[in-house]
């Protein structure tokens, strides 16, 4: 399963020509997609009532990986690793990265700036 970051979904939502999006290109080579529960949180916090139908339809076709104890522990390790190197990224990105790393999933993202800071995280980028 390929984990999809929030940035990839937002690009897909915003672009009129869906075939020009990273998510669309990934669909040509991947068959199973998932999102972190944190990605769902980020999307829903930023959406309004009119947009929720689009998101709920899209989410129904993706596997949501819950934030659980295993991922929480992985997130704490990532936070400590980043802190030791003097690097800071937000909790949401740490949690999404931890979801991927703890489950040995690759993470598709357009946010290389943050996710390249997380060691041993397999990234799929444009």
Three-state helix/strand/coil letters over 63-119? EEECCCHHHHHHHHHHHHHHHHCCCCCCHHHHHHHHHHHHCCCEEECCCHHHHCCCC
pLDDT for residue 78: 98
Q: Which residue range forms the structural domain that includes residue 24?
A: 2-124
pLDDT for residue 116: 98
pLDDT for residue 55: 97
pTM of the model: 0.96
pLDDT for residue 76: 98
pLDDT for residue 26: 97
The structural domain count of the chain equals 1
C-alpha to C-alpha distance for 111 and 31, rounded to whole angstroms? 22
pLDDT for residue 74: 98
C-alpha to C-alpha distance for 23 and 84, rounded to whole angstroms? 34
Residues (pLDDT < 70) of the chain are none
| CATH number of the domain that residue 22 is part of | 3.40.50.1010
pLDDT for residue 11: 98
pLDDT for residue 14: 97
Q: Are strands 106-108 and 33-36 parallel, antiparallel or unpaired?
A: unpaired
Q: Which residue has the tokens 């991922």?
A: 71
Q: What is the pLDDT of residues 102-115, one digit of tens each?
A: 999 999 999 999 99
pLDDT for residue 47: 96
């Amino acid at each position: 399963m390929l984990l999809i970051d929030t940035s990839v979904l937002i690009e897909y939502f915003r672009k009129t020509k869906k075939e020009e999006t990273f998510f669309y290109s990934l669909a040509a080579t991947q068959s199973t997609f998932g999102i972190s529960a944190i990605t769902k949180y980020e999307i829903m916090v930023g959406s309004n009532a009119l947009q929720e139908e689009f998101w709920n339809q899209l989410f129904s076709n993706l596997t949501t990986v819950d934030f659980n104890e295993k991922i929480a522990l992985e997130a704490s390790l990532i936070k400590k690793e980043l802190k030791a190197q003097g690097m800071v990224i937000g909790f949401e990105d740490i949690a999404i990265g931890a979801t991927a790393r703890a489950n040995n999933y690759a993470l598709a993202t357009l946010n290389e700036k943050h996710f390249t800071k997380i060691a041993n995280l397999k990234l799929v980028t444009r």
